[in-house]
Structure 1
Amino acid sequence: MSLRTRLLGLSVFVLLLALAGWTLVRSMEQSLRQALEQALVDTAASVGRKLLEQTDNWPAADGLYIHPASQPFELDGHDDDWAPWQDWRQQLDSPTPKARASVLAASHQDRLHLLVNVRDRALVTADPVAGPGDRIVIVVHSAGRTGQTTLAPVAPGWLSATEHSDWPRLHGALQPTSDGWRAELRLLEPARPEALAVSITNVEDRQERQSAVMLGRQTAQPLVRLQPGMAAQLSVLLPDNTRGWVITPAGWVIAGADRRRTAPPDQTEAPGFQRPLTALAGRLLGIRPDPALTNTALAARLDIAERHAHDQSAAWLQHSDTGLAIAAAVPLRVNGQLVARIVVEREADRSISLAYSAIAQLFTLGLAGLLILAVVLIGFAARLSTRIRRLRNAAERAVAPDGRVRQDLAPISGSDELNDLAAGLRRMIARQREHQHYLQSLASRLSHELRTPLAMIRSSLDNLGHAGDEQQRRRYLARAEDGCQRLQATLQAMSQAARIEHALITETREDVDLGRLVERYTEGCRTTFGAHDFSAIVPSGRRARVHASEDLLAQLLDKLIENAVSFAPAGSRITLRVMPRGPRIAVQVDNAGPSLPDGLAEQLFDSLTSARPGQEQRGHLGIGLYVARMIAEHHGGHIRAVNRPGGCRFEVDLPRGPDQELR
C-alpha cells in the first residue's frame, strides 16, 4: 500500500470518527430535547385544562394593564418610582408622529396611579386671556357609573381638576421634560375602577390654541389586573420544580406561581463551572435561548404570545440566575375564543446533564481512540524516517564525494513510494556508473584516435624539413594531409553526435507512418547508392504508425544504410522491412556482408566501436551505430544486430503511437 493511501486512510478514519461521535451526540441531544419539550407542553396543556374548568370569568383580552406596586408613590411628577415598568409603557393613539403619548398604570393599597408621558415641542399651559392649553381628560367607569375629569395645567407643579365635579376625584403633579412633559396622577375616587380612558389634548401653537391634536381615546377601556385567586389555583396545579404564568392574548401576566425548590439537593454544591458549561453546550448542541423569555421572573408582559399565536410551542432560554431552562406555551380557549395562554417553565440543567454525560463518554472514547491513533502515527513516522535515513546512508555510501560510483545501492524493504524511490535511485546510480565507464573509455579511445593522426602530422613535418628532393617533400605533405583529414573526420563525427543529442531534446514528435517513410527512403537509396540493389517490404493495406520525430527516424536509417553499404559487396541486395508485432513495430535492415564477430553484437552500438579490419578502420570513428542507438532509445525502442544466413541483420523495435491499430 502506498504512503499516500495510508495517510489518506488515516485522515479519513479520523474524520469519520469525529463525524460519527458528533452525529451520535447530536442525535441523542435532539431526542432528549424533543422529549423534554413534549413533556413540558403536555404538562402545560393539562394545567390549562384544569384551570379552564375552575375559572368562569376571564379578564378582557386587551386594556390598560395595572402593575402591582410594593412601595408608595411620591406624587411629584417625576418617574423615579416607575423605573421597574418603563419598558412596558402603553402608547396612546396618535394621528401624527410629531406628538406621541404613553401611559403607565400601577396600584398600591387599592389606589390607582397613572404616569402620563407626552412627547411635544413645548408645554402650553392654560391662560385666562389666550385660552386653554394642553390638558388631560380622564374617563372612569365603575359600578355602572361613568364620569369624566379634565386636568388643565396653568404651570408646572400641582394639578387639580378644572371642572368642579365630585366624581371621579383625582389630583397630581406635572413636570416638563427634555422632549415634552410628564404628569403623575392619583385616583382618589373611585378606588377600584372597572374601566378607564386617558386622552390628551395637545395644543401645537400658543397663538392658535383652537388648533389641537387629540391623543388617545375617550372611551373607557377595561383594566387588566393580577388575579390572586387564579394565581392560587395555578400554584396548586403546577408540578414541582416548575413555575408558570397565565397571560392575556396580548401577553400581559394576570397570574403567576413558582413551585421551584430554593436549593435542590443535587445542585446546592454544584461546581462553579457547571452553568458556563451549560451555556457552552447549549450553543454547541444548537440550543438557542429565546430572548422573549429571558428574565421572566420580573416580566409583566411575555412576548411569547406574539411569537406563538395559535399553536402549542416550546422554547429554550438562558437565565443569568438559574441557567438553562425550557418554557412551553399553550393557548386557552372558551367556545373557540382565545382567552389566555398558560406558560410553564422548568429548569433544564439537570435534564440536559444527560447530554453532557454522553459528551463526556464520547470525549473519553474519542481521546482513547486519538491516543491510539497518535501512537500508530508516531510509530509509522518513526519507521518511515528510519527507512529514509537508511536510504540516504546507502546513497552516500554508493557515491563518493567526488561523484564516482563506488558500489550499487543496497535494496530496502517495502512496496510503497519509498521503495519506488530507492529503485529509481538504483537505476540512476547504475546509469551514472555506465556513463562514468563510458567517459573513461571515451577518453582512452579519443586519445588513441587522436594520437595516430597527430603522430602522422608531426613526423611528416619533421621529415619534411630534412627532405632532399621534391618527391620526398610531396610524399611527406601527402601523409600530413592524410593525418589532418583523419583528425577532421574524428572531430566531425564527435560534432555530429553532439548535434544528434541536442536534437533529441528539441525535436517535436508527430504521428509517422513507418511504411511510407521506408518506401520513400528506399527510393532515395536507389539513386544515391547505385552499386547496390535496394528493396522495401512494408505491410500491404496496413498502416504502421509511431509517435516520433520523422527527421530523427530518417537519420537512424541513414546510419544503418551507411553501415550496410560499407560492408555489403557491390551488386548485393540490401532489404528494408517493416514488421508490425502487436503493440510494437520492427524495422529491419538486411545486408549480405560478413557475419558479426563473436561477442561484438552488443558492443557495436557503443561509442568509438568499429568492426572494420585493418585499413578499412581509417576514417571510421565508430559513432554511427551509437547515434542510431541513441535515437531508438529516445523513442522508447531498442536496437540489436544478429547474424543471418548469408549476412547480418540490424533490427530497430519501436512502440506504436497512442491509439494506433493495425489496419
Structure 2
Amino acid sequence: MSLMRQLFLASVLMLLIPWAGLKFVLELDNALRAQALQQLDEKGARLAELAGDFMLGVPVAADGNALYADTTTQFPKVDGFTTTWPGFRDHEEQLPWQSRPGQDHLRWLVTSNNRSLYLLIQKRDQGLRPFNPNQPEQPHDRVELVLTPPPGQLEANQPKTWLIRTTAPGTNVPALIDGDVARTDRRLEVAWEDLGSRWQLELRMPKPAPGSRLGFQTGQSSDSHGTEGTPLTPPPLLIQRNTALERALARQLSTGQQVTVIEPAGWIAAHSQAENPMPSTDFDDLSTGQILEQITLNALRSLVRLYQPKPKALATTHHQLHRGGLPDHHLVHQDGTVWLASEHTFFGGRSLLLKQSMEQLLSVSGSALGSVLARSLLIILALTLALLGYASWLSWRIARLQKLVSASVDEDGRILESIPPARASDELGQLQQQFGQMVSRLQSYNQYLESFSRRLSHELKTPVAVVRSSLENLAHSHSEDERQQYLERAASAAERLRRILNSMSEAARLEQSFDQADKEHFDLAEVVRQACAAYQQLDPHHQYHCDEPDTACPLLGSPEMLVQMLDKLVDNARDFTPEGGAIEMRLEHDPEHYTIEVFNEGSNLPVNPGVDIFGAFVSQREGKAEGHLGQGLLIVRLIAEFHSGRIDAQNQHLNGIDGVAFRVIIPKLPNEPRTAP
C-alpha cells in the first residue's frame, strides 16, 4: 500500500475522535484526578520534609492565649493614621482583627516583615486621655507591653516590659522600659492618635525571635484594675508566619497549587501559593469558532462537576484552619474554590496541607476535549487534504533522495559525486545529511585505500631491497667481516619490516588487550610530568612546555596505556611542528573531569567535514611523511574511550602562536577521591 493511501486511511479514522472524546471525558477526569493526587502526595511528602527542617521549635498545641502576626512585604509608616498599613485604606473591616471575648470595643492587628513587628491597637468607645505630668495620678490612657524571649535564649526568664503613655497625640511617643521615665527604649517607634470617638496606637519594634511571647494591656489608671487586652502573665505565644519557609515552599509549587503549614492547634504557620493565571478575553473579541469552543468547554466542565464527589468545606477563623481530616476523595471546598488536597504530618504533630485547584485540572482536560469536539468536524476535511498533499510531497522528496544516492555511486562502487546538503531540517533532511556524510567518508576511505597500497609499497620497498641486496652480496663475499656486515644489514631491514607489520595490527591488538587490562590507582599528574621530561630529553629539536597542577590527580586506570596515548599525541605533534617550534602539554582538572591537552605549533586541521581524523587508516601527512599508516590518533581515541573519556581537536591561537590543540577529557569515576580545582 502506498504512503498516500496509508495517510488517507489514517485521516478517515480521525472521524472517531468526537465519539471517543464524549466517552472519554469522565475517564479522563478520573485519571487526571488520580494522577494529580499521586503527584500531590509525592510533592507533599517532600515539602513536609522541607518544612520540618525550617520548623524545629516547640509546636503550638493549644489554641488559646496566642497572638497571631500576619506577614507583609511592606514597611508601614508609624504615624498613627494607618495610611500605609497594608489593606487598611479600602478594606478596614475585612482585615483579620483580633480581640478577646467581651472586649469587642478593643481590637488589634499584628503583622511583620523580615525586620520588624507592627502592632495596631484600636479602642472604639472613647477618645484619647493624655498623661498630665503635673498631675500623674489623674486618669490617663496607657499601654503596658511585655515581651518574653523563647526558652533557651539568653535572658529567657527576664521578660522585657514597656509603659507607653503620651502627653499629646502624635508621633515619637516614648516607650518607658519597666515604667522608668529615665529609660526610654528608642528601638520602639510609637504613634498615638485621637480620632474623636476612638483612639488608635501604632507601634513598630524589632522582630522577636520565633517562640517569643508578647502581651499588652490598656487602662486608664496607674493600677491594673479595669485593664483590657491580652494577658501579661504569662503573655500570649506570638505566632509568626515563617517567611523563609514560605519562600522555600513557593519555589516548589506548580501553577494552581497552594500549601499551608499548620500548627497542632490549627494556627497557620506558613502559607504559599502559585498564581493560576486565567486569561480573560472580551466577548466581543471572540470569533464564532472561539465562542463555540467556550460553550463546549463550559458544558464539559459542568458535566465533570456533576459527576464529581461533593467536596468537604474547610473553615478558617482568625488564621486558624479547622480541617477535621480529609475525605476519601480528597476534594475540599474553600473560599469558593474546589481543591484536590493532600495532608502530611511532620515534626511536633504539625501538618502540611497541599492543594491543587480543580479549576486548573478541569481547564487541562476540558480544553483538550473542548478543542477536539468544537473543531474536529471542521478540521478533519482540511486535515485529510493536507495529509494527502503531505504524502505527495514526502513521496517526491524520497524519490529525489533515491536519485541522488544512485547518482553518487556507480555499479563498481566508486564514488562519483557528493550528495548536496539538504535545505530542510526535518528527518528526511537529516537522512540526506547523513547520506551525504556517509558518501563523503566513503570517498575519503576509498581514496585512502587507493593510496594505501602505494604507501605500503613505499614503506616495504626499501627494506625488501636492502634484504635482497644483502643476500646477493653475502653470496659473493669472501671474508667473515663482509658476511657479518651483510647479515646485520639484512637483519636491520627485516626488523623494519616487522615494525611496519606491527603498526598495522597495533590498534587491533590494543582493543584485545583491553579485556585483560587491570586498572589501578595512580597519580595522573606524575605520569604527565615524567612523560614530558622524557620527551624533552629525546627530542632536542622542539621546545616542550609542561603545565600540570601542584596537587595530586588520582585516577583509576592504566598508566601504561595513558603513556602510550601521550606518545602518539606527541609523535603526531612532532610530525606537524617545524624545527624549533613549541609543543605545549597541559593537565587541568575540575570537580568532574581531567583534561589533557597537547598543543603543537604550525599546523591546521583539515577543512573537509567528512574526514574523521580519529578513524582507522586516516592520515593527513603529505610529502616526506607519505608512508604513514594513520593509526596513531585511532589508538589515542581507543585508549581515551577505555578510560570512559573522549577526545577532540581544534585549531587554536595560544600565546600569539597558531596551531592545533588535541584535548583528552577523562571523567573522574564515582569511587575516586575528588580534589578541589
Q: Shared topology, TM-score over 0.5?
A: no
Taking structure 1 as the reference length, the TM-score comes to 0.36
**Which of the pair has more CA radius of gyration?**
1
Taking structure 2 as the reference length, the TM-score comes to 0.35
